[in-house]
């Protein structure tokens, strides 16, 4: 029985050390975490109840860190979409910033939440759809394909007749009339 307890304890300590590595903690930071939870700075001196608590806290830290990374990655993808849609509209960064302010009351897309970035993207897609429907916006074929790639929802996609009309025009550049 003592062997089982020692083995499970060793596995618990190993897991904590793996979490330390995954969190990229230096020894000093790691020991600060141990002391803040149980007042001791070495797993060898900590009872199993506190080891489980430390493991749980470190797993929570790792989850928060990973979810933050995913959010940054998602927002980076949204910023790329906004840049591409701005290009398709013939806008420069000042135009994009102006549209961002109009939609969100924020001066830059960098300060926008994911929901606000989605609102900007949907607004830009709506402008492109309106421009294509009215004939005031024309794309060369590769630009049209890029637009279709960034259109997200079926309600925001353009019709086949609009694609055909745009392909027939085959203007070398996009323009807003």
Query: In the chain, what are the domain boundaries?
Result: 2-69, 72-176
Instruction: Please compute the mean of the pLDDT values over residues 39-46 and round it to a whole number.
Output: 91
pLDDT digits (tens, 9 = 90+) for 48-57: 999 999 999 8
| % residues pLDDT > 70 (the chain) | 71
Distance CA 137, CA 60 (A): 49
Distance CA 118, CA 87 (A): 17
Residues in the chain, overall count = 177
Rg (CA), the chain: 27
Task: Report the number of secondary-structure helices (H) and strands (E) in the chain.
Answer: 7, 2
Which tokens belong to 58? 């470190």
What would you measure as the largest C-alpha separation in the chain, in angstroms? Answer: 82
| pLDDT in the model for residue 42 | 92
Instruction: Please compute the mean of the pLDDT values over residues 8-25 and round it to a whole number.
Output: 92
pLDDT band at 13 (very low <50, low <70, confident <90, very high): very high
Q: Which residue reads 């199993």 in tokens?
A: 48
Task: Give 3-state DSSP helix, strand, coil % of the chain, rounded to 5.
Answer: 75, 0, 20
| pLDDT in the model for residue 167 | 43
3-class secondary-structure state, position 138: strand
pLDDT digits (tens, 9 = 90+) for 62-120: 887 777 666 666 688 888 888 888 888 888 888 999 999 999 999 888 888 888 998 99
3-class secondary-structure state, position 30: helix
Distance CA 133, CA 140 (A): 16
* Phi–psi pair at 176, nearest 5 degrees: -115, 120
């Amino acid at each position: 029985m003592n062997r089982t307890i020692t083995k499970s304890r060793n596995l618990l300590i190993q897991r904590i050390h793996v979490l330390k590595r995954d969190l990229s903690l230096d020894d000093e930071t790691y020991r600060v975490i141990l002391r803040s939870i149980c007042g001791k700075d070495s797993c060898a001196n900590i009872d199993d109840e506190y080891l489980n608590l430390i493991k749980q806290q470190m797993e929570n830290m790792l989850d928060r860190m990973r979810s933050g990374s995913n959010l940054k990655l998602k927002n980076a993808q949204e910023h790329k979409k906004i840049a591409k849609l701005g290009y398709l509209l013939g806008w420069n960064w000042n135009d994009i910033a102006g549209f961002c302010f109009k939609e969100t009351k924020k001066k830059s897309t960098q300060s926008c939440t994911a929901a606000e970035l989605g609102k900007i993207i949907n607004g830009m897609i709506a402008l492109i759809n309106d421009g294509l429907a009215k004939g005031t916006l024309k794309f060369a074929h590769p630009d049209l394909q890029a637009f279709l790639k960034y259109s997200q929802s079926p309600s925001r996609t353009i019709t086949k007749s609009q694609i055909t009309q745009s392909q027939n025009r085959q203007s070398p550049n996009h323009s807003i009339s």
